[in-house]
């Protein structure tokens, strides 16, 4: 029985991986816009003084007409000098606005409350969102805009993790592969018209699409506001969502520094995506079952576990190598740690969430 299940799930896992690989390689329709539209960039941050200079420097390198650009920088109740850095950056720049918020005065909890205030003060036809610990590429805006064909209301691009040091730690490498893995799967599913999720630090949307769903005020409470907005636009409107992997629009973010921070991040993600589409639930179920089969076979000393394990390594390799983001050497070095991380994550996270549904974000505790 265990041997049969291992073989069936192995075949299913590899087949799904091949499907993801084929779908993510399909090109998205593109449309060069004749005139540059007015764009609003919104960045909200709390206690990001360490990473903020890199973000602000990347904004200065954007290749987009300043007269068609406004940048709204939101300090979300920082106490580490973030506000002073934002104000210094905005000095003498008419297209840059700084908003200083008191955390207790926000209408909504978490990042959504800060982004909401900035959106309501913005005037752009297109709204671009990233985070204060991210670095955007020079052609970020132009590249995203080409994917806004007439029927597209939201566009997302890849976010990869940059190195903090020249000698990248195993934890950094594991997180880099994890982010790439999840985004490739999400991009593939978006080609079906049923996007699963995306990174909110590299997305853009039409104001029309945002207003059509009622904005953040009308969305269900969530600490991953990017998922809630994507879900609303893709399910409640006729706008299409494009999640592409164009290298010209890749945003660089930073990995979590410690296992504790990584665990809290993954808890927040796992709880926040519970309303995911049936396609996403099926993919998660297959991922969970095949890894549980490996543990079961190991406990029983059953050789079928090797079949399941080989299918996992082959399938994940097919997905991770579907886009030319990492060299073969980097993949070879990082995959063992990545697979160990995923085995532990898949098995241990569900009972951890069942026992405790509180979320910690930026030192605040939120019940879920």
Q: Please state, in angstroms and rounded to a whole number, the distance separating the CA atoms of residues 136 and 324.
A: 19
Give 135's contacts (C-beta < 8 A, 6+ positions apart).
54, 55, 57, 58, 162, 251, 252, 253
**Distance set, CA 162 to CA 10, 132, 226 (Å):** 33, 14, 21
Model confidence over 82-139: pLDDT tens digits? 999 999 999 999 999 999 887 655 556 677 788 988 999 999 999 999 999 999 999 9
Q: Is the pLDDT of residue 227 over 90?
A: no
Q: Is the pLDDT of residue 147 over 70?
A: yes
- Count Cβ atoms below 10 Å from residue 217 Cβ, excluding itself: 10
Q: Please state, in angstroms and rounded to a whole number, the distance separating the CA atoms of residues 140 and 124.
A: 16
Share of the chain above pLDDT 90, in %: 42
Q: Considering only 50-54, 142-146, 161-165, 355-359, which range has the smallest mean pLDDT?
A: 161-165
**Residue 112: its pLDDT value, please?**
79
- Is 121 part of any domain? yes
Q: Which two tokens stand for residue 117?
A: 């205030």
Q: Which two tokens stand for residue 298?
A: 């190991």
**Residue 212: its pLDDT value, please?**
95
**Residue 143: its pLDDT value, please?**
96
Q: Name the residue with higher pLDDT: 39 or 300.
A: 39
Q: What is the SS3 string spanning the chain? A: CHHHHHHHHHHHHHHHHHHHHHHHCCCCCCCCCCCCCCEEEEEEECCCCCCHHHHHHHHHCCCCCHHHEEEEEEEECCCCCHHHHHHHHHCCCCCEEEEEECHHHCCCCHHHHHHHHHHHHCCCCEEEEEECCCECCCCHHHHHHHCCCCCEEEEECCEEECCCCCCCCHHHHHHHHHHHHHHHHHHHHHCCCCCCCCCCCCEEEEHHHHHHCCHHHHCCCCCCHHHHHHHHHHHHCCCEEEECCCHHHCEEECCCCCHHHHHHHHHHHHHHCCCCCHHHHHHHHHHHHHHHHHHHHHHHCCCHHHHHHHHHHHHHHHHHCCCCCCCHHHHHHHHHHHHHHHHHHHHHHHHHHHHCCCEEECCEEECC
The label of the residue with tokens 């690989």 reads: 21
**Residue 109: its pLDDT value, please?**
64
Residues making up the chain, counted from first to last: 368
CATH code at 123? Answer: 3.90.550.10
- Is 85 part of any domain? yes
Model confidence over 240-274: pLDDT tens digits? 999 999 999 999 998 888 888 888 888 877 776 66
**Residue 168: its pLDDT value, please?**
62
- Is 128 part of any domain? yes
Q: Which two tokens stand for residue 13?
A: 């896992």
Q: Is the pLDDT of residue 22 over 80?
A: yes
**Residue 103: its pLDDT value, please?**
63
Question: Taking a C-beta distance cutoff of 8 angstroms, is the pair 107, 217 a contact?
Answer: yes
Give the confidence band of 328 by pLDDT, cuts at 50, 70, 90. low
Q: Which of 49-63, 92-106, 212-226 has the highest mean pLDDT?
A: 49-63
Q: Please state, in angstroms and rounded to a whole number, the distance separating the CA atoms of residues 157 and 144.
A: 8
- Is 210 part of any domain? yes
Give the confidence band of 350 by pLDDT, cuts at 50, 70, 90. confident
- Is 328 part of any domain? no
- Is 364 part of any domain? no
Give the confidence band of 149 by pLDDT, cuts at 50, 70, 90. very high
Q: Name the residue with higher pLDDT: 228 or 125.
A: 125
Give the confidence band of 343 by pLDDT, cuts at 50, 70, 90. confident
Give the confidence band of 223 by pLDDT, cuts at 50, 70, 90. low
- Is 112 part of any domain? yes
Where in the sequence is the domain holding 59, given as residue range(s)?
30-168+192-258
Instruction: Give the count of domains, the chain.
Output: 1
Given CA atoms 211, 274, 363, 158 in this order, what sign does their dihedral have? negative
Q: Which two tokens stand for residue 67?
A: 């007269």
Q: Is the pLDDT of residue 21 over 60?
A: yes
**Residue 17: its pLDDT value, please?**
94
- Is 315 part of any domain? no
């Amino acid at each position: 029985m265990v041997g049969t299940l291992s073989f069936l799930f192995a075949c299913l896992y590899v087949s799904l991986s091949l499907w993801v690989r084929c779908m993510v390689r399909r090109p998205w329709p593109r449309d060069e816009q004749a005139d540059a539209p007015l764009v609003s960039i919104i960045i909200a941050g709390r206690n990001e003084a360490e990473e903020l200079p890199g973000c602000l420097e990347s904004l200065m390198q954007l290749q987009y007409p300043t007269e068609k650009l406004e940048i709204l920088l939101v300090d979300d109740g920082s106490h580490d000098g973030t506000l002073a850095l934002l104000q210094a950056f905005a000095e003498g720049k008419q297209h840059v606005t700084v908003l200083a918020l008191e955390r207790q005065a926000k209408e909504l909890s978490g990042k959504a409350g800060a982004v909401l205030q900035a959106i309501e003060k913005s005037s752009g036809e297109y709204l671009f969102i990233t985070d204060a610990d991210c670095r955007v590429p020079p052609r970020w805006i132009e590249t995203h805009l080409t994917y806004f064909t007439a029927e597209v209301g939201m566009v997302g691009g890849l976010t990869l993790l940059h190195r903090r040091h020249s000698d990248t730690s195993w934890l950094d490498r594991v997180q880099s592969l994890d982010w790439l893995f999840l985004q490739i799967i999400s991009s593939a599913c978006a080609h079906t018209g049923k996007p699963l999720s995306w990174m909110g630090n590299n997305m853009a949307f039409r104001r029309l699409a945002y207003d059509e769903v009622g904005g953040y005020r009308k969305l269900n409470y969530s600490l991953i506001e990017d998922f809630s907005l994507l879900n609303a636009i893709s399910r409640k409107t006729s706008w299409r969502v494009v999640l592409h992997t164009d290298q010209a629009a890749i945003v660089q973010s930073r990995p979590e520094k410690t296992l504790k921070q990584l665990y809290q991040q993954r808890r927040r993600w796992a709880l926040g995506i519970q309303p995911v589409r049936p396609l996403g639930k099926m993919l998660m179920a297959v991922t969970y079952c095949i890894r549980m089969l490996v543990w079961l076979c190991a406990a029983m000393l059953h050789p079928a576990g090797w079949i399941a394990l080989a299918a996992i390594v082959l399938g994940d390799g097919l997905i991770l190598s579907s886009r030319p983001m990492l060299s073969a050497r980097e993949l070879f070095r990082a995959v063992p740690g990545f697979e160990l991380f995923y085995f532990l994550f898949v098995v241990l996270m569900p009972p951890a969430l069942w026992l405790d549904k509180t979320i910690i974000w930026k030192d605040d505790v939120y019940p879920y």
